Homo-oligomer: A and B are copies of this chain.
Amino acid sequence: MTSPRTAGTAPRSALTRARVLESAVDLADREGLGALTMRSLARELGIEAMSLYHHVANKEDLLDGVVDVVAVEIQDAVARLEPLADDAPRSAWRTATRRQILTARAVLLRHRWASTVLETRKTFSLPVIRYYDSLIGLMRHGGFSYDLVHHAMHALGSRALGFSQELFEPDGATAGSAGGGATEGADDAATAMLMQMAEQVPHMVEMLAAVSHEDGAGSTLGWCDDQSEFEFGLDIILDGLDRLAEREQH
């Protein structure tokens, strides 16, 4: 004689903070960060918007929590890596660090909105700090002084977490799809603009010609933040740091 909902033992869907955050991550994965509003998240969960405030303090807190979910995912992936043996040579810090960062990157590539949210957090998050802590540990293995570690973190910046700050990445779809068609045909306006101002920015035009020549088909105009470019920048920094660590050893 219980209601159909409570027929089983579990109340079927006791709303918890964890469930709210999980659902928020899903929503952002599917429809982008712009689609993650208190109202749309509530609709997703089949409840009223105001009910969310029982599990998160406000939207800022929701975003904090959602970053934590991703950070935990990163930490889980990193924990699955083979740990650096205590008797490994000093130089092993470099490959281990490289691997950890690329592991974090792989997770962030599954949640493309996450880096944006990560940037705007102004408070420390335990899962993120633990990620950094393991990075610091690897550098200590590499013989880094704490001072050099500190500089290294600044030098890496967001690269420490697996993403780089790309100006002008070509992504496309962002906001709502409705709206009028007033400014249509602006797609390759950039290309046309570049051509017409060849004499204003000669080096840029030649570089783009040379680069797109070289790697043929897949190359779009503009900056292409693919894996190899990320690794190129990462390796330059790791090499530089390794040299400095070596110098610290006398």
Residues in chain A within 8 A of chain B (CB atoms): 57, 118-119, 121-124, 126, 128-130, 132-134, 136-137, 140, 145-147, 149-151, 153-158, 160-161, 164-171, 174, 183, 190, 193-194, 197, 200-204, 206-207, 210-211, 214, 222-223, 225, 229-230, 232-233, 236-237, 239-241
Contacts and interface: CB of A to CB of B under 8 A. Distances in A.
B150 A118 contact: no
A165 B236 contact: no
B237 A129 contact: no
Nearest to A135: B203
B122 A223 contact: no
B166 A157 contact: yes
How many copies are assembled? 2
Contact of A165 (B151, B165, B204, B241): B165
A158 B167 contact: yes
A45 B109 CA distance: 43
18 contacts: A57-B183, A122-B171, A123-B168, A124-B190, A124-B222, A129-B204, A133-B200, A133-B202, A136-B207, A149-B203, A150-B211, A154-B223, A154-B229, A157-B166, A158-B167, A165-B165, A236-B236, A240-B240
Contact of A237 (B119, B201, B240): B240
A164 B121 CA distance: 16
Contacts of A174: 122
Contact of A200 (B123, B126, B165): B126
Contacts of A214: 147
Contact of A154 (B118, B124, B233): B233
Q: Which 5 A-B pairs have the closest CB atoms?
A: A146-B210, A236-B240, A155-B233, A158-B165, A136-B203
Contacts of A225: 154
Nearest to A163: B165
Nearest to A203: B136
Contact of A122 (B151, B158, B168, B200): B168
